[in-house]
Amino acid sequence: MGGGVHAAVPPLSALLASRNWMMATAESCTGGLIAGACTDMAGSSAWFERGFVTYSNEAKTELLGVDAALIARHGAVSQEVARAMVLGAIARSRAQVAVAVTGVAGPTGGSKEKPVGTVWFGWSVDGHVITEMQRFDGDRAAVREATVTHALETLLSLLR
C-alpha cells in the first residue's frame, strides 16, 4: 500500500463525521488494509469504530456470525458471504456504515469460476446493503490495493 492516507479517506471521514456516523470493516483478502488506510488519518477515532480481519472461514463464523453452511454452499468468495460479512460487521459494532471484502488475491487459490483477482464486496450504509463483484488484474499486491481503492471509493459514492 505504501505510506500516507488513501485519497478517498479525507472526504469519507468528513462525510461520516458530519453525520456522526461510525464505520466498521470486515476484511478477508485485504487482511486489514482497509482499516489501515482509514486509521492512517489522524483523528480517525471520531469516525472509524472497528475492523474485523476474518481471513479464515472459522473467523468469519466466529467473529461475524456468517453461517458455516452458507460458506460451504457458496464458498467464502461469494455474494452471499460478502453480504453476511457486512451485516455481521454492522451487527457486532456500533457503526452505521460498513464495508466487507472477500476475494482471491493470489498468486494461488483461484479456480475457473473464481480466478485470481475475483473480489466480492459488501457495503452497508444506514441499513441499505449493496454487493458487487470485481475482477482485478495484477499480482497479489495489485489486487489488494485495487480492492482497498474500490471499497473506499464506492463507499464514498454511496455516502454522497
Place 152 in a pLDDT band, splitting at 50, 70 and 90.
very high
Let me know if residue 88 belongs to a domain: yes
Domain containing 84 — which CATH number? 3.90.950.20
Ordered strands of the 128-135 beta sheet? 48-53, 23-27, 97-103, 118-125, 128-135
**Residue 1 is assigned to a structural domain of this protein:** no
Q: Which domain, by its residues, includes 95? A: 9-159
Q: How many domains does the chain have?
A: 1
* Residue-averaged pLDDT of the chain: 96
In a domain, 2, yes or no: no
pLDDT at 3 over 60: no
> Does 79 have pLDDT greater than 90?
yes
155 SS3 class: helix
Kindly indicate the confidence band of residue 2, based on its pLDDT and cuts at 50, 70 and 90.
very low
Q: Is residue 91 part of a domain?
A: yes
pTM for this entry: 0.96
CA distance 105 to 18: 34
Chain centroid offset of residue 70 CA: 18
Distance CA 63, CA 56 (A): 10
pLDDT of residue 4: 64
Q: First-to-last CA distance in the chain?
A: 25
- pLDDT tens-digit readout, 112-130: 999 999 999 999 999 999 9
Neighbours of 50 (CB within 10 A): 16
